[in-house]
Structure 1
């Protein structure tokens, strides 16, 4: 399952509800006991099961239904999210992220500062990724169905660093690149939606791309996913000036075995 890769330039953000909502900090609300965080929708176990089944069917039919992928992740990921949250709490950098709740959006990114960073830095390369692939960080769906405010932030953070993982792995936003990132994420996070996306995403590939994926790219993604520490423990916003090459070496991420073009 892959989220929608609608083309947006980071310099021309889409207006409307998505941008307005993403700027709200994901913290407990004070205006109602039932509303754990902005956009929260209380659901029973049965409702979650029905949502999970329906969203899984739709996401398998159309992997680019990002809204269905988001629902699937929230209704099936409770156990994996708890593991990720605990990993973050045990790590100094991850713990700081949980406490400060940084968000990645056009309203929080200093585009001018990122543009002025040295060539090869994480911030410069992340900005280049957004520009080349014509995507915007403001397209992330808000969390709605997670019944724990802290876990809701964890899955929101996962969504918002997804493009950072593309940058770290050197993967474009075409279907082959998305599948490779999903395999890395599946190993890293254990989220059911990532596992399903990794397993079922290749069904739409050509025979030639499928062979390359199975023989070279999947083994590389699995190896790097296992070797790297939890990528949610990286405070990317404090590492913009760090060399991307140095960060890859710190995480044990090697260069892809082949070049994956944008086509």
Structure 2
């Protein structure tokens, strides 16, 4: 029997971006020999749809989901694995989110214009001079206090639909806006609370993983505080609040944050401190 050469998925092709302001539209170059080309014709006829896209078969996606889930559970700080898990398992949730966005005027505008959130687009220095009660000021204070940047989000790679890839990108890039609205830092307990909010609002499986397995990292006392005070609050808030995926946050920077919270039906969390210190 003829033995066919196998090259790992991430070594198969190279991706060369075209000049495109929207970040979409990319050219696919193949450097495979005849045997590898015949394998690809049988197993993966999809094309590269956007920058850094890696097309996958159903089997490859299942293997990616299993491997990334194991790695993410073993060490939640492996952000690449967490991101890959979200992409490998999020197809149906992303489709539902897209439908909800298309059913909302603001959501449709976001899908049409595809705004991005990074420091080359959002003028953080300008936000630092905004009024103290503004959403923009609260957002940049959140970034500065926690020493983080909007440029740190992982690019989407394994979503085999260009528009759904943007939906996943949008979900990732508004994460810090959700922190700001909820008034929660990036500590381990607070990240778990935010994952509960995102799980209820988005239905993404990776959010479920963080919500249910994240508390294993907490002490018994902090688990009590989480389940007694914070989970009831965040479940109620997430259910009543407007979908954050339909909020054009970039147009809200100059508005009072309390006014924005009221419009979105978001209330501030209980003032019950956690006991432990987590890294």
TM value normalised by structure 2: 0.83
Contact (CA 8 Å) 2:117, 2:173: kept in 1 or not?
Answer: yes
1:74 lines up with 2:87 in the alignment: yes
Pick closer, same or farther for the CA change 1:148–1:131 going to 2, 3 Å: same
- The Cα of 1:238 is off from its aligned counterpart by 0.6
**Which of these residues, 166, 180, 183, is aligned with residue 193 of structure 2?**
180
The aligned counterpart of 2:162 is 149
The aligned counterpart of 1:11 is none
1:38 lines up with 2:51 in the alignment: yes
Cα distance between partner residues in 1 of 2:91 and 2:58 = 12
Gapped regions of structure 1 (runs ≥ 5): 1-20
**Which of these residues, 153, 165, 169, is aligned with residue 140 of structure 1?**
153
Cα distance between partner residues in 2 of 1:251 and 1:260 = 25
The aligned counterpart of 1:164 is 177
- The Cα of 1:28 is off from its aligned counterpart by 3.7
Q: Which runs of 4+ in 1 moved over 6 A?
A: none
Cα distance between partner residues in 2 of 1:138 and 1:28 = 18
The aligned counterpart of 2:104 is 91
Contact (CA 8 Å) 1:142, 1:156: kept in 2 or not?
Answer: yes
- The Cα of 1:31 is off from its aligned counterpart by 2.9
Pick closer, same or farther for the CA change 1:260–1:83 going to 2, 3 Å: farther
Gapped regions of structure 2 (runs ≥ 5): 1-16, 29-45
Q: Which has the higher contact order (CA 8 A, sep 6+)?
A: 1
Contact (CA 8 Å) 1:26, 1:38: kept in 2 or not?
Answer: no
TM value normalised by structure 1: 0.88
1:250 lines up with 2:246 in the alignment: no
Count residues with an aligned counterpart.
241
RMSD: 1.7
Structure exhibiting the larger radius of gyration computed from Cα positions: 2
